[in-house]
Amino acid sequence: MRLIDCKPDFCATSLGLSMTKDELIPELVRYTEAIHEALETESDSLNRPHYLGHLAMAARIFMYLHRDDSQEQLAQIFRIESRSHAQTLPGEVAAFTRQAWKRFSLGFASFLEQG
């Protein structure tokens, strides 16, 4: 059973990506730093709760990466965050955060596909 749904042409592994847990953690750090920066610089008070939610999910990703048998939980977070980042919040800070998720999500998807 596939943990994440992807079309064959768009799967991370079909793009030649392969990501181990040890390689994913620094990518998670970069993604978390981007969210932190967004939270610190966002001037739209309506966007700030979204960044707090993303930070909470990044913490959950980190936790589950360090637990055995957590692929299902990680896949669920991937699906939730993918839907959440699909929302188009206004402003440059939100665009920066979406871009950070796009970069991180490729490695995250690869890690999950290797399951």
Q: Looking at the domain assignment, is residue 110 inside a domain?
A: yes
The tally of CA atoms less than 13 A away on the side-chain side of residue 81 is 32
Q: Looking at the domain assignment, is residue 76 inside a domain?
A: yes
Q: Looking at the domain assignment, is residue 86 inside a domain?
A: yes
The CATH number of whichever domain residue 52 belongs to comes to: 1.20.1270
Q: Looking at the domain assignment, is residue 39 inside a domain?
A: yes
Provide the pLDDT confidence category of residue 48 given band limits of 50, 70 and 90. very high
Q: Looking at the domain assignment, is residue 91 inside a domain?
A: yes
Q: Length of the chain in residues, anyone? A: 115
- Domain residue limits at 27: 20-114
Q: Looking at the domain assignment, is residue 8 inside a domain?
A: no
Mean pLDDT score across all residues of the chain = 86
Q: Looking at the domain assignment, is residue 4 inside a domain?
A: no
Structural domain count of the chain: 1
Q: Residue 23: what are its φ and ψ, rounded to 5°?
A: -85, -30
Q: Looking at the domain assignment, is residue 105 inside a domain?
A: yes
- Tens of pLDDT, residue by residue over 14-41, are 445 688 999 999 999 999 999 999 999 9
Say whether pTM exceeds 0.75: yes
Q: What percent of the chain has pLDDT over 70?
A: 85
